[in-house]
Amino acid sequence: MENNVENLNEIKDEKKDKEKLVYNIYDFCESAITAIIFIMLLFVFVCRFLNVDGNSMVPTLSNGDKVVAMSAKYTPAYGDIVIVAQPNVFDEPIIKRVIATSGQTVNISNGYVYVDGKKLEEPYVAELTAKLGDQEYPLEVPDGYVFVMGDNRNRSTDSRFKIIGLIDERYILGKVKLRILPFGNWNVYKNFNA
């Protein structure tokens, strides 16, 4: 009789252990799924981590730099460095600087960029703008669009070229806020004076 009671207690203990294990697995899965959903929402609605591919933004950003872009909806402004997902010949997102916004007129003459007739002071460019692209100037930016250029003007394919064109604001994934790699060089706007 005593053996039966012991066996019954052992069976109850084993059942409790199995129930506890199942509960722990369920709890772990629930926590993991919640964390994955949170991270997905964070990357979709708040920020994105991207690698710079190419040298079109030198000296501000170099090939291989890692940047953080804020994805939250905002109104693009002159000088913002943005991530653009508008379909293009490269078939990948591009990183460029906003030069002109809706309603503004862009002109390029004698190596300088003019917006609404005013020459831009651009301490962030690598050299004067020799490449004009195949757009016709002066060029008025329509509502809902921006004109973007790389800081490395003569090695950048940007809004000056019809294969990229003016950027529909709906395709702007976010504004670059900081560089996370290389370490110690965080501020991507240090050479920008608006």
> Which of these CATH numbers, 3.40.50.720, 2.60.40.1180, 2.10.109.10, 2.30.110.10, describes 48-181?
2.10.109.10
Tens of pLDDT, residue by residue over 1-34, are 556 656 666 766 677 777 787 788 888 888 888 8
Examine the pLDDT at 192 and tell me if it is beyond 90.
no
Can you give the pTM of this predicted structure?
A: 0.78
- Residue 8's pLDDT is what? 63
Full DSSP string of 73-114: -----TT-EEEE-S--TT-S-EEEEEEE-TT-EEEEETTEEE
Ranges of each domain in the chain = 1-45, 48-181
Tens of pLDDT, residue by residue over 154-167, are 999 999 999 999 99
The HSE-up count of residue 87 (CA atoms within 13 Å, CB side) is 0
Active site residues per annotation: 56, 96
